[in-house]
Amino acid sequence: MAAAASSAGAAISSMITLMRKQSFRSDFVPLMDYNQEDSTGGNLEWTNKPLAKYIFRLTGLLSFISTCMNTPKTFEYHPYLQYTTFIIDITCAIILTIEAAAKMKTRGILRGDSSYLRDRWNHFDAIMVLNIYISIILQTFELIGIINKYSYFTLIRSPRPFILIKVLKTFLKFELPKSQIKSILQRSSSQIYNVTVFFLFFMSLYAILGVQFFGSLTFHCVRNGTDLNNVTKSDLMIPDTYCSPTKDGFHCPENFTCKKIEIERNLRGYNGFDELATSFFSVYESASQEGWVFLMYRAIDSLPSWRAFFYFITLIFFLAWLVKNVFIAVIIETFAEIRVQFQQMWGSRGAPSDIEATKILQKADDSTLKLVNIDENKKKGVAPAIFLKMVQSPLFTTIVMIVVLANTIFTATIKHTHNETIDKKNRDLYHKIETLFTLLFDLEALFKIFSMGFKNYIRRSIFKFEFMLAVGTTLHCFPSFYRSHFTYFQVLRVARLLKSSPLLEDFLNKIFGPGKKLGSLILFTMCLLLITSSISMQLFCFIKGLKQFETFPRAFISMFQVLTQKGWVDVMHYTMLYSIQDVAPFVAIYFIVYHLAINLIVLSLFVAVILDNLELDEDVKMIKQLKTREASAETQQILPWRLRVFERFPDHPQMIELSRLPHDFMIPKIRDSFMRQFLNQDDIYSYPPEISMNIYNKKHTVKTLHTPEYRPTGETMKRTAVTNIIRNASNQRLLSGDASQVHLASIADNKLSIFVQQNKIRLDRKNSMRRSGYRPKPVHVIRENGDIGALHGRNQDEYDIKVFQYRKQQAELKRNQQEEDLRENHPYFDTPLFTIARESNFRKFCQLLVEARYNVNTKDRLGQESKISRYKQGQSVFFSFFQNLSIMLFC
């Protein structure tokens, strides 16, 4: 029975835990899972096996490689590749066709929600297979000789590089709810759209200004007597110089004159300000900070210089700096939103390995918060615990860093004199000393392995790097391997100096962060570069004389040059020059779109990732936020400066004298606030006659049959009875107080009088003195996931929200108490402009105007909050004016 009960309890707890987890993710739908496994079709289960998926991925990769080798110049360098690519294309087409046929048979072609033609990825696969078949037909015609290998038909192969996406999508497996995906896309698309419109606005503005400011710059310095209809290079100045026929600009030297000549676009260049399209093209080139100075010098020589200075300086400021940084800011903000959703996919920052994933926050000696391993001081190896302390001691680390620094300085002294005898002698000396250093580092690695254990040693990334250096430099010390490729391990030993500075080490860890984040971005950039290089090669490989895109390596270098923004204008101009002039504008659009996407989006992602890594860890950020809340809660008890002014004046409370009461002795003056509370209580228990529950008329006396008898009591007995009642009530209230109860401030406390509040403070002090020997039980709190934790065993850095609420309310209570004390002790504290008294009729009139917008019935029919009513139409202006004036002056 006990076993059955325990098993039933375990089952119930597991169900509750499952329901709790599902409650937080009610709309969870796997959306971005690219592993499309078919659950139907038992006879086609082989398509879901890992071997079949691996074959399909390899087929897509082979098709991409075949596309990169399929150029006329590559076939001239390596003729056998023409038949190799032809066979690879046929094989890939057959395999991908089998995959598509299997999916059609399993899911159906058009019927059903999961049919083949209803999936967008299947559309993509079908287009890629169709493109492969067209490429095979084209290559067949080229082998037969029907079509020239340098024909325009090679443009058909340009979409084929996108098949690399088929290979990459199998590695992108993440799951997010549709609502989150939709919200991310909406926010990011709207932000990118706004900044794109912002960018196009400035581009159009400066394009129009360029046409208006400069126009067509066609004046050149030519020799005297030159035929303007037949101008040659010998007729122009060296170098070709623009000039101005007016007094502004550059004037030609002797034997030269400034003439307007018409030169073809492919000879004089494609940039300028002739019309809006050319001006737009020139503005984008200048915004990329490539070649803009030549345009500025051309404008300075042709027109007044102030135009060029104003135009190009403001263009660089707004377009090259402002708009680019706005793009980066938008990408960073969008990336920060996406990072929260993909945090589980990328992993947590600061945990590059499993052993560092379990850390706690502790306060260091310099009062900074750091993440420390839980099992840092635990014995891990077979050696005694004292060896582990030695490895973790700062002295051991300092000695190792000194040895590394000595080895670095010694390695930097290597020099070559080009004298065989001296070089051989130096080589033997350096070999011996390097062997000694290597022996020391090998002993260090063995000592750490002996102290920590090999399994725990090899799990940390820094120790993996040290172990790799130890093995590599040991092989480097062998005479046959000395001064070979193993020398790289000796050079990499310098990187261990980063360990000498904890600040620099933490900074590098924050910059690089987890490998998935920065590694995924680098992989995405490289794949994008490969795809665009292959597309550009297929678009321009048929152009004779254009060496930038003859083969895939040249195309890769050219597109990488565009990515780095160094000389990308030359690549674009050469391509436009060698292509057909009618196609040149489309070539310019292609390169501009690629440069814009790479420069403003992809490269901005690197900045976003690095800035995201530099942010604080979530745990440290949470604790700092709690500390900030605590500091703000403690400072709320300080009054503002406008009220603290009254603390500089001496106390002068308002006193009243009770002169009309019968008494035997002289009654001193009493505080006005003390007597006011007794006067106000009469109003609480008094009712108007119209709503009184007494139906008899109180003005007329009623005669009774018998006269009531009264017990004769004196005035002293009455006073004694009332005093005893008050004392007993006070003692009963003191004894009934709960020792474990903490009084939290409320709104009602502000309405109590000073006497009642002071009495409460004295009672709280007595209660605290009474329970000084009482040890309260730990307060249990229920966490968000349902676990129960206690506040008793927490560290000083761990806080609870209830503590901050209590401190905030206590600070508010103290602040209100100080304000009440100032109001009681200073007559002018609550006196506007130091002239209008508290109970003045003018102030009551102003308050009446302020509160006139509220209805007579302060609550609605359901007893809810106050209703707001409008003034009458004829009086709205008058009352609104006085209402605003009263608020500004007296409230």
The C-alpha atoms of residue 658 and residue 656 are separated, in whole angstroms, by: 7
The answer, yes or no, to whether residue 686 has pLDDT greater than 80, is no
Cβ atoms within 10 Å of 757's Cβ, excluding its own? 17
Listed range (137-151, 262-276, 660-674, 825-839) with the worst mean pLDDT: 660-674
Instruction: Give how far Cα 611 sits from Cα of 302, 339, 347, 557, Å.
Output: 45, 12, 17, 29
Q: What is the per-residue pLDDT for 340?
A: 63
Q: What is the per-residue pLDDT for 780?
A: 42
Contact 829, 822 (CB under 8 A): yes
Q: Encoding tokens for residue 526?
A: 């490289």
For residues 105-133, average pLDDT: 84
Q: What is the per-residue pLDDT for 776?
A: 42
Q: How confident is the model at residue 867 (pLDDT cuts 50, 70, 90)?
A: low
Q: Encoding tokens for residue 545?
A: 């004389």
For residues 344-348, average pLDDT: 48
The C-alpha atoms of residue 675 and residue 668 are separated, in whole angstroms, by: 13
CA 293, 298, 301, 304 dihedral sign is negative
The answer, yes or no, to whether residue 27 has pLDDT greater than 50, is no
Average model confidence (pLDDT) for the chain? 73
The C-alpha atoms of residue 290 and residue 270 are separated, in whole angstroms, by: 14
The C-alpha atoms of residue 470 and residue 460 are separated, in whole angstroms, by: 15
Listed range (111-125, 161-175, 193-207) with the worst mean pLDDT: 161-175
For residues 197-205, average pLDDT: 89
Listed range (269-273, 424-428, 797-801) with the worst mean pLDDT: 797-801
For residues 853-862, average pLDDT: 54
Percent of the chain scoring above 70 in pLDDT? 63
Q: How would DSSP label each residue in 416-430?
A: --S-HHHHHHHHHHH
* Nearest alpha carbon to residue 224 among 235, 210, 234: 235
Q: What is the per-residue pLDDT for 355?
A: 37
Q: What is the per-residue pLDDT for 774?
A: 40
Which residues, listed in sequence order, are joined to residue 363 by a DSSP beta bridge? 369
The C-alpha atoms of residue 362 and residue 347 are separated, in whole angstroms, by: 22
For residues 584-605, average pLDDT: 86
Q: What is the per-residue pLDDT for 392?
A: 81
Q: How would DSSP label each residue in 424-473?
A: HHHHHHHHHHHHHHHHHHHHHHHHHHHHH-HHHHHTSHHHHHHHHHHHHH
* Nearest alpha carbon to residue 283 among 244, 250, 323: 323
Q: What is the per-residue pLDDT for 861?
A: 52
Q: Encoding tokens for residue 202?
A: 């400035």
Q: How confident is the model at residue 239 (pLDDT cuts 50, 70, 90)?
A: confident
More confident residue, 792 or 654: 654
For residues 613-626, average pLDDT: 62
What is residue 298's three-state secondary structure?
helix
For residues 103-110, average pLDDT: 82
The answer, yes or no, to whether residue 522 has pLDDT greater than 80, is yes
For residues 308-317, average pLDDT: 91
Q: What is the per-residue pLDDT for 745?
A: 43
Q: What are the structural domains of the chain?
A: 42-173 (1.20.120), 181-345 (no CATH), 371-512 (1.20.120.350), 516-615 (1.10.287), 618-690+744-770+779-829 (no CATH), 832-890 (no CATH)
Percent of the chain scoring above 90 in pLDDT? 12
Contact 310, 213 (CB under 8 A): no
Listed range (37-41, 109-113, 604-608) with the worst mean pLDDT: 37-41
For residues 796-820, average pLDDT: 68
Listed range (462-476, 747-761, 869-883) with the worst mean pLDDT: 747-761
More confident residue, 179 or 555: 555
Listed range (23-27, 252-256, 496-500, 580-584) with the worst mean pLDDT: 23-27
The C-alpha atoms of residue 332 and residue 609 are separated, in whole angstroms, by: 8
The dihedrals phi and psi of 607, each to the nearest 5 degrees, come to: -65, -40
The C-alpha atoms of residue 443 and residue 435 are separated, in whole angstroms, by: 12
The answer, yes or no, to whether residue 502 has pLDDT greater than 80, is no
Cβ atoms within 10 Å of 777's Cβ, excluding its own? 8
The answer, yes or no, to whether residue 754 has pLDDT greater than 50, is no
Q: What is the per-residue pLDDT for 312?
A: 92
Q: How confident is the model at residue 723 (pLDDT cuts 50, 70, 90)?
A: confident
Q: How confident is the model at residue 90 (pLDDT cuts 50, 70, 90)?
A: very high
The C-alpha atoms of residue 320 and residue 315 are separated, in whole angstroms, by: 7
The answer, yes or no, to whether residue 766 has pLDDT greater than 80, is no
The C-alpha atoms of residue 672 and residue 657 are separated, in whole angstroms, by: 9
The answer, yes or no, to whether residue 429 has pLDDT greater than 80, is yes
* Bond before 689 cis per omega within 30 degrees: no
Q: What is the per-residue pLDDT for 887?
A: 63
More confident residue, 814 or 354: 814
The C-alpha atoms of residue 817 and residue 433 are separated, in whole angstroms, by: 78
pTM of the shown model: 0.60
* Nearest alpha carbon to residue 676 among 839, 813, 553: 839
Q: How confident is the model at residue 555 (pLDDT cuts 50, 70, 90)?
A: very high
Contact 369, 797 (CB under 8 A): yes
The answer, yes or no, to whether residue 760 has pLDDT greater than 90, is no
**Most confident listed range (30-39, 303-312, 364-373):** 303-312
- Environment class of residue 312 by beta-carbon count within 10 Å: exposed (0-12), middle (13-18) or buried (19+)? buried
